[in-house]
Amino acid sequence: MAKYSHSRLESYEQCPLKFKFRYIDGLEEGEGIEGFLGQRVHETIHYLYTKAIEGQILTLKQVLVYYEELWKKEYNKKIRIVKKHFSSEYYFNQGLEMIKNYYEKNYPFKENILGMEQRVYVDLNRDGCYLLVGVIDKLLYNKEDEVYEVHDYKTSSWLPDQEELDNDRQLALYSLAVKELYPKSKKIVLKWHFLKHGKTMTSIRTDKQLEDLKEKIVALIDKIKTEKQWPAKKSQLCGWCGFNEICPEYRRLL
């Protein structure tokens, strides 16, 4: 039985051929510098909170040293940099600034954390045929307000407006998962940390919105299951695709 995720669904929506290369043919796409940066920042924040839960509040210097060592350990020349006028050092320094700003805004990290990088599952039809999997960056419970908070860290340059967030699928799926984990939950707040902008934005879903979302995702999965053509789909993301060298449509589409 295939398991789906937001990223898997998004991959099909962006380009069915890319989806085929990755999830059906099992081809390795490789890693781009933006994804590499995001992973290292996520790992650093995770480390910071892991230590805080253990009772050790790291200094900013300790956190930045951890990030730097992690970057040096994991970086390799195979990582794609599409924007050739930017160096790997440029992206490394972006990460430093994002971590520094997050640390200063959230110190001393005293939160009632229920999970970090928590893997969650949602069985949409409760029959095992439409199983979604995801990873919540940080899940916490605000006892005073009786609110569960789903936190997600974003390192991209993209800063959405409120309407876009109110229609975001990824954290809405996590909201469904939290409802299953905590059936008595009264309120779930979705929070995005746009680290490059130093801005936190929130959204809430109603039960009706979540039921509508389930129906849309089931329909999308059914479409993927019956796909036969796997057409390439032109977009601004083609230049960042790790499969464009083997894509038969890439030159013609551009």
Burial 69-98 (b: 16+ CB within 10 A, else e): ebbeeeeeeebbbeeeeeeeeebbebbeeb
pLDDT, tens digit, 9 for 90 and up, residues 56-71: 999 999 999 999 999 9
What confidence score (pLDDT) does residue 127 get? 86
Residue 196 and residue 94 in contact, taking contact as beta carbons nearer than 8 Å: yes
What confidence score (pLDDT) does residue 206 get? 95
What confidence score (pLDDT) does residue 48 get? 98
Lowest mean pLDDT among 58-72, 96-110, 183-197, 237-251: 237-251
Residue listed under structure tokens 């109110």: 166
Q: What is the pTM for the complete model shown?
A: 0.93
Amino acid at 171: L
pLDDT band for 253, please (50, 70, 90 cuts): low
Mean pLDDT, the chain, integer: 94
pLDDT, tens digit, 9 for 90 and up, residues 168-221: 999 999 999 999 999 989 899 999 999 999 999 999 999 999 999 999 999 999
pLDDT band for 93, please (50, 70, 90 cuts): very high
Domains of the chain: 24-109+231-253 (no CATH), 113-224 (3.90.320.10)
